[in-house]
Each structure stands twice: as C-alpha cells, then as structure tokens.
Amino acid sequence: MKRFRARYSGFAWGFVDQAFSSATNFGLMVLAGRALGPGGLAAVVVGFTLYLIALGFQRSLVTDPLVASSSALGEVARRLAGRAALMVVLPGAAGMTIVAFAAAALIGGRFGQGVFVVALWLPVALVQDFWRTVLFRDGRARAAAANDGLWLVVMGILAPFAWSIGDDWAIVGCWGVGALVAALVGVVQTGYIPIAIGAASRWWRQEAWSLGRWLALGSITYSLATYGTVLMLVALLGGTAFGGLRAVQSLFSPLSLLGPAIALPGLPALVRARAESSHAARLLTLYLSCAVTALTMLYVIVFTLSPGLLTVVFGEQFTRFHTIVLPIGLSQIVAATATGFPLLLKAQSRGRALLFAQLVGLVATLAILPALASTRGLTGVAWGTFGSEIVASGALVIIAIRPEHERATALPLPAEQH
C-alpha cells in the first residue's frame, strides 16, 4: 500500500496543479474576450498560440528528455541533470523570445500586437514551466501546485486593474506578472543554479538528444502546421468567427486540464514502472487513458447540456457559437482515449514512433480543416476537428501498442560541476 501511494499520490496534486495552471490560461481568455470582444480575443489567441508553440518546443527538446532520462536516478544525479537542463533552457527561452518579436513585426497590425504583448512575458513563463516539471519529477507535486497557485493568485489580484484599463497590454500583463512571480519563487523552491555551459552541452548531447531530436522535430512540425492552420483559419473565417471558435475550445476542452494533469506525474511514473517491467508500464498507460476518457465524457455531457454557459462566461456576443459545442466536445472524448500513449512512447524513448504518429494526425488536420473552412465555414471546421482527431488518436494508439524496439538512453551523467 505504501508503494502504491508513493507512486500515485502525485496524480492528485497533478490535478490540483493543472487546475491552477488552466485557470490562469482560461482566465486570460475570459478577460480578453469580455474586455476586447471576439476580434480582440482572436489577436491575443494568436500571440498565446506562439507561447504554446515555444512551450512545446522546450518540453520536447529539454524537459521531457530530462524526465525520461533521470526520473529513475538517485537524488544527486537528478539534481545535476536538472541544473544542466536549466543551463539549456535559459538561452533557449531568450532565443525563442527573439523569434516571437520577429514574428510580431512580420505579422503586423492588431494580430502582430497580440504576439508582441505575449512575447514580452515569454522568458519567465518558459522558466516557470521548467520549475514545475522538475518539481513533479522529484516527487514534489505539492510544491509544484503551490507555484502554479501563486501565479493564479497574483493574476487574480491584478485582474480588476487590468479590467479597468481594458487594453491588451494590461490584460496580458496581469497574466505575465503572475508568471514572473512564480518563476522567481521556483528559484527558491529548487535552489538550482546553472552548471557550466560545457557540462550542460555534454549532458544534453548524451542524455537528451537521442529522444529530444525526435520530439523536437515533431514539435517543430506540429508548431508550424498548427500556427499555419491558425493563421489560415483566421483568414478564411475572419477574426470574429475564429475568436468564437477559440472561446468554445477553451471552455469545452477538458483535456487542456486533464492532459497535463496526467502528464506531469504520469511520465515519471511510467519511467519508473518501465524500470520494473514493460507490462507494468502498459497497464499504467491503460489506466491513465481510461480515467481521462471517463472524466472527459462526464465533463462534455454536463456542459453540453448547459446551453447558456458560453454566454455566461464570455458574454452575449458569443451566444451564436453554441452550435459548435457538440463536435468540439466529441473531439475531446476521442482525444482522451489516447491520453496515456504519448507518455508511454516517451518513457520507452520511442521518439521516432511518436513523430510518425503525430505526422499522421497533422496530415489529416491539414487535409480536412482548410477545405471545410472554405466550403462549410465555422461549422465545417468544428466537425472537421472531430474527424481529424479520430485519425490522429487512432494512429497514436495503434503505433504505441506495437512491440518496443527502440532502446532507452541510459548513458552516465557527467561529473558534478561547481
């Protein structure tokens, strides 16, 4: 029983932590929607999407390989690996911020400004995410939840002032200041200082590259396709319709909470389970997917039967978008069935297989959504999302349950650097 609690106690805090994290992101969407309207929300979403792309790239190239390679190690080795990863994250965050500023200048106009105001806070938001990943890896899920809770509290304190000002700088700023405070507290919680750049580079090449190269390639491909799809849908649907779509997706997408809530404690748990046996890892994967699917179905059923919820949260301007709630909810249920399988592939260091599964899903999305957007408008996009998710999730499950062939990286860590 003690062994069971030690392995799975982090999942409860995972839900608490992700509830806080999702609340900050959802709060940003609500503030932007109500203060700026559908068009203003769309501009903020374009900037926020770029933040999510940078976050996905960092997780793929650094933090996921860090967790996969070090979760089963001793405390000293885990700490050294974490300090090395921090030394990789810091210049990476700076580089991605420069890219975001360049994208803002290239896009221009209202949407370019949306990218710019989010990019201002990109470095601290990326560092804060690194802290929460490290804390979960080390079994300090409660500390990670406290860090994300602090972000939410700071944002809640500043939200009335941002609302009274009513522009995108203030709305995104209250979100960004919360990230800044949480990132600074994370330094105190972990006590990490970066190691020498040479040692960090050696760690990254030896421990992270073999898995990270595939995850990063998948992240780059996914990010380009996703951001291209966002800009294409904005052009085809218009800012108002796209803002309505994002409002529905943010409200009726429980996986934005459930997915990370499972992933943060789930990947370290799967790495440790796999150290015992492949059967234990596969069984845990099945449990995680079934649990998330059940919770997602309950959420979708309850909130789909609440037709006025969208209006209550975002305002009267969004009433007409309730017609797309059902297909968006169904796509979430389909995606939930595959929740645990990307984690299993990462724990197995099967980056190439995960990349292939992602490419199948991207091809389906790029083939379906633009075509339906141009012919069927917003409703077509919503049902197209459901159809492409069937293809993507099916490919992921089929590939993940095939026998494991790729070898997990198990190279020794570099010596301690002072």
Average pLDDT over residues 200-214: 90
Average pLDDT over residues 310-314: 80
pLDDT tens digits, residue range 61-103? 999 999 999 988 888 999 999 999 999 999 999 999 999 999 9
Give dist(CA 384, CA 237) in Å, integer: 14
Of residues 219 and 101, which shows the higher confidence score?
A: 101
Give the side-chain half-sphere CA count within 13 A for 415.
Answer: 1
pLDDT at position 7 is 53
Mean confidence (pLDDT) of the chain:
87
Average pLDDT over residues 176-187: 96
Average pLDDT over residues 329-334: 92
69-78, 202-211, 287-296, 406-415: which range is least confident on average?
A: 406-415
154-163, 278-287, 315-324, 390-399: which range is least confident on average?
A: 315-324
pLDDT at position 292 is 93
Give dist(CA 273, CA 282) in Å, integer: 9
Residue 407, pLDDT above cutoff 60: no
pLDDT at position 4 is 47
pLDDT band, residue 412 (cuts 50/70/90): very low
197-201, 318-322, 339-343: which range is least confident on average?
A: 318-322
pLDDT tens digits, residue range 245-296? 888 887 777 887 788 888 889 999 999 888 888 888 999 999 999 999 999 9
What's the first-to-final CA gap in the chain, in angstroms?
40
The dihedral over CA atoms of 209, 278, 339, 289, expressed in degrees to the nearest 10, equals -170
Sign, CA torsion 397/401/404/408: positive
Average pLDDT over residues 173-179: 95
Give dist(CA 158, CA 333) in Å, integer: 35
pLDDT band, residue 130 (cuts 50/70/90): very high
Of residues 218 and 124, which shows the higher confidence score?
A: 124
Average pLDDT over residues 191-213: 90
Residue 333, pLDDT above cutoff 90: yes
210-214, 234-238, 284-288: which range is least confident on average?
A: 234-238
Which positions ≥6 away from 76 have C-beta within 8 Å?
416
